[in-house]
């Protein structure tokens, strides 16, 4: 799963998708995840980092992580699969 390449993501959690002109806002955890996704980190690494920083277990995190990915897909912020 990769983010669209040309997304503009600012430190304030503002996201601009230049291909559609839509803009979005993220909360803190959403911003952290999206930054890791952009760095190409896989779900295992993301889970490890997040469960280390936040008071959440891996199972619970997984549930909300995939819910979040679902939202990104719905908003078409995810790159079409390359293969």
Partner 1 sequence: MEKKVFERPVIKKLSAGMPAKFGLQVRHEPVTQIDGVPIKTLMEEYGSPLFVYSEKKIRQTYKEACRAFSSRYPNVLFAWSYKTNYLNAVCNVFHQEGAWAEVVSGFEYQKALVNGVSGDQIIFNGPDKSKEELELAVQNRSLIHIDHFDELYDLIEIGENSNIKPKVAIRVNMDTGIYPAWDRFGFNYENGEAWDALHRIMHADNLELLGLHTHIGTYIMGTEPYKIAASKLAELAIGLSSKFDHQLQYIDIGGGFASKNTLKGVYYPGTDTAPSFEDYADAITSVLIKANFRHNKLPLLILETGRALIDDAGYLAGTVIATKRLANGQRATILDAGVNLLFTSFWYDHDIRPAKPMSDQTEETAFFGPLCMNIDVIRKNMMYPLLKKGDPYVIQRVGAYNNTQWLQFITLRPNVVMIDEKGETHLIRKKETLQTLNKMESVPDHLKI
Partner 2 sequence: MKNNKLTIAISGLNNVDSPGPGIPVIRGIRESKLFESRIIGLAYENLEPGPYMHEFVDKTYKVPYPSEGVEQVMERIEYIHELESVDVIIPNFDSEIYAFIRLADRLNRMGIRTFLPTLKQFEERHKSNLPQFGKTHGVKVPQSVAVTSFEEIEDLKRDEKIGFPLMVKGKFYDAYKAQNLEQAFIYFNRISARWGLPVVIQEFIKGTEVNVVALGDGNGQTIGAVPMRKQYITDKGKAWGGITLDEPSMLDFARHLISSTKWRGGIELELIRTPDNELYMIEINPRLPAWVYLAVAAGQNLPEAMVLLATGNDVLPFTDYEIGKMFIRYSFDMICDLSEFEKLSTLGEL
Letters for 19-58 (x = contact with partner 2 by CB under 8 A, - = none) are ----x-x---------------------------------
Q: Is 27 in the site for partner 1 (CB under 8 A)?
A: yes
Distance of closest approach, residue 83 Cβ to partner 1, in angstroms? 26
Q: Is 16 in the site for partner 2 (CB under 8 A)?
A: yes
Question: How many other CB atoms are there within 10 angstroms of residue 46's CB atom?
Answer: 17
Residue 30 Cα distances to 23, 33, 72, 82, 83, angstroms = 15, 5, 10, 24, 27
- Nearest CB to partner 1, comparing residues 1 and 71: 71
Single out the residue of 5, 35, 36 nearest to residue 18, CA to CA: 5
């Amino acid at each position: 799963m990769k983010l669209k390449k040309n997304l503009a993501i600012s430190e304030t959690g503002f996201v601009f998708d230049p291909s559609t002109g839509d803009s979005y806002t993220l909360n803190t955890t959403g911003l952290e995840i999206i930054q890791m996704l952009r760095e190409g980190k896989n779900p295992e690494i993301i889970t490890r980092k997040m469960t280390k920083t936040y008071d959440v277990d891996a199972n619970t995190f997984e549930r909300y992580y995939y819910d979040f990915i679902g939202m990104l897909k719905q908003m078409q912020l995810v790159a079409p699969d390359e293969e």
